[in-house]
Structure 1
Amino acid sequence: MSQEWIQALTACERDGRPAILVTVTEVAGSAPRAAGTKMVVTGDALHGTIGGGALEFTAIETARALLDGEVTELRTQSYALGPSLGQCCGGRVSLMFEPVRPPALRVALFGAGHVAKALVGILGALPARVIWVDNRADQFPATLPANVRALVAEEPVAVLAPGHSHILIMTHDHALDYRLVRKALSLPGAAFVGVIGSETKRARFASRLRADGLDPARLTCPIGLPGLSGKHPGEIAVSVAAQLLSAPPVPPAPPPESVTANKCTGCVTPCGPDGP
């Protein structure tokens, strides 16, 4: 059995892309594929197959409608292949549509100092996906929460890309902080962009951003809820985490739609020249 769907789900989780896992749950009579066959449908791609033909075409359309509607619950549907879909296979197939959506909190965290370490401990207990970036490999702890991926990057700015709901910058280098802020505000979308520092730091960054042709209005600095003003790294981390949870989630930009070719790839019980 093809494992393409497993690789596709792994890639969707890594990239934060929503998908629908389609599973053949029950088969009666002649059908393109056996029960347990799976495929993954995203907004612009198809991974695996449940046999092609009208059944697969209909399943893709249904899956993409669920994606467009941001449905989160399981759906099941039974199809009579001959009467309903006009396939030569005359059996009946039941499909399960399972939405697989990334968490709303998708954080890119730059810097592995004391505050970042404390913040990762909090985010690790939340429904979140965190990419943690620093150019110093020895600053990362030996173990990380399951939802946190550490990335050592010689040039952290190159890591920044669309798809994050929140971008947090707290490196050991003010010049690097500025380059990250400038790149973050240049990305498409409206991710939360926060940098650790004082009002004075924000004023300096805002002046430079305007000189570089960027609007500093979206820059949050200092970070953290205004009412939580403790200076301990743990207190700052709690304040920042609370701010992230209170900010409205930013959905990823929808990918363009495409339709997979309608083709049949064979049946579990082969069809004769006049049907099954």
Structure 2
Amino acid sequence: MSADLHDTAARWLGAGDPGVVIEVLKTAGSVPREAGTRMLVSAKQAVGTIGGGHLELMAIENARTLLANVPGFEPVDRHYPLGPALGQCCGGAVTLRFLRLDARTAQAWPRPTPRFFLQLYGAGHVGRAIVRLLAGIPCEVQWIDERESEFPVDEPLPAHIERVCVDQVEGEVDVAPAGACYLVLTHRHDLDMRIAEAILRRGDFGYLGMIGSKTKRARFFHRYEERGIRTETLARMTCPIGVPGIEGKEPEVIAIAVVAQLLQLQRPPVEPAAAMLAPMHRESRLKSRGTCCS
């Protein structure tokens, strides 16, 4: 599922399917989700979550009752204490707003602020596993590989993940915004070397992770030092990648450890990459990519 619900809302509106937006309007005390959280409900589907449990079940039921019995209803606010009556022990209280899904509601619905901007180099097994996890997280991702055949054709991507197929992949480092995150996990060590060197020479990365062992790290560090890259910059590169203590070399296990590491980063959210580029630069960059991964 997409990290935001705008795509789902657009599909429902395009198909003429009635829906309800459930929004967490206010909270007090301990609650499962924060104010501003939303989900979508139709007669047959419920997409997203306001925290699960009995609260969400009641909210879905209320939304479907409004759909069935009050066509064109005005916004409705309902207050729910999260205690014994709902079988939840959070101890807080939530006020939910129920809005009929229409074009005006969808346009006024803010998109979630990206947690990070990531350039992910490599469309192999680990790269694919990471992308599957990031599909449900609000972030901006450029998934980059020189091999068109490695991108899965049967797995549609949400709007916040862009496939980029180019011959000189290290050149994409130049178009990332300051403070970006980078994951380097290609199929060749020499390509990893070139990409990571370009990132290190920029120096303004929020996170740089390279797949590999401690031996690979030591070998690469030595070569980079010979090429004049400062030791303090090299020390900021993470290799091996992933939260320490998670054992296993299966792609899915590595992906979980790596995404958890990205989510641990403490820094201000970055602007989407497209907004950081001048219009002419953006246009020429897209042309230079060709159509291999359109």
TM-score range, shorter chain: 0.5 to 0.7
Counterpart CA distance in 2 for 1:101 and 1:235 is: 27
Deviation at residue 196 of structure 1 after TM alignment? 0.2
Question: Is 1:103 aligned to 2:118, yes or no?
Answer: no
1:99 and 1:124, CA in 2 relative to 1: closer, same or farther beyond 3 A? closer
Counterpart CA distance in 1 for 2:204 and 2:269 is: 9
AA partner of residue 145 (structure 1): P
AA partner of residue 167 (structure 2): E
1:178 and 1:104, CA in 2 relative to 1: closer, same or farther beyond 3 A? same
RMSD (Å) for aligned C-alpha atoms: 2.4
The count of residues paired between Structure 1 and Structure 2 equals 159
Counterpart CA distance in 2 for 1:205 and 1:127 is: 32
Question: Is 1:149 aligned to 2:162, yes or no?
Answer: yes
Task: Detail structure 1 runs of 4+ shifted over 2 Å in the superposition.
Answer: 97-102, 249-253
Contact 1:129 1:148 in 2 (8 A): yes
Hey, what does 2:126 align to over in structure 1?
A: 115
Question: Is 1:170 aligned to 2:185, yes or no?
Answer: yes
Hey, what does 2:221 align to over in structure 1?
A: 206
Matched residues, percent identical? 39
Counterpart CA distance in 2 for 1:99 and 1:148 is: 18
The more displaced of 138-147 and 215-224 is 138-147
Contact 1:134 1:156 in 2 (8 A): yes
Gaps (5+ residues) in structure 1? 1-96, 256-276
- Residue 253 of structure 2 is aligned with which of 235, 252, 270? 235
AA partner of residue 184 (structure 2): I
Counterpart CA distance in 2 for 1:247 and 1:204 is: 26
1:187 and 1:251, CA in 2 relative to 1: closer, same or farther beyond 3 A? farther
Gaps (5+ residues) in structure 2? 1-107, 276-294
Counterpart CA distance in 2 for 1:199 and 1:172 is: 18
Contact 1:165 1:249 in 2 (8 A): no
Q: How does 1:1-276 map to 2 (within 5 A)?
A: 103-142=114-153, 143-161=156-174, 162-163=176-177, 165-215=180-230, 216-249=234-267, 252=270
Q: Secondary structure at the match of 2:235?
A: helix
Higher-helix-fraction structure: 2
* Structure with bigger RCO (C-alpha 8 Å, 6+ apart): 1
1:246 and 1:158, CA in 2 relative to 1: closer, same or farther beyond 3 A? same
Structure number with greater Rg is: 1
Deviation at residue 138 of structure 1 after TM alignment? 0.9
* TM-score, normalised relative to structure 1: 0.53
Q: Secondary structure at the match of 1:141?
A: coil
Deviation at residue 118 of structure 1 after TM alignment? 0.4
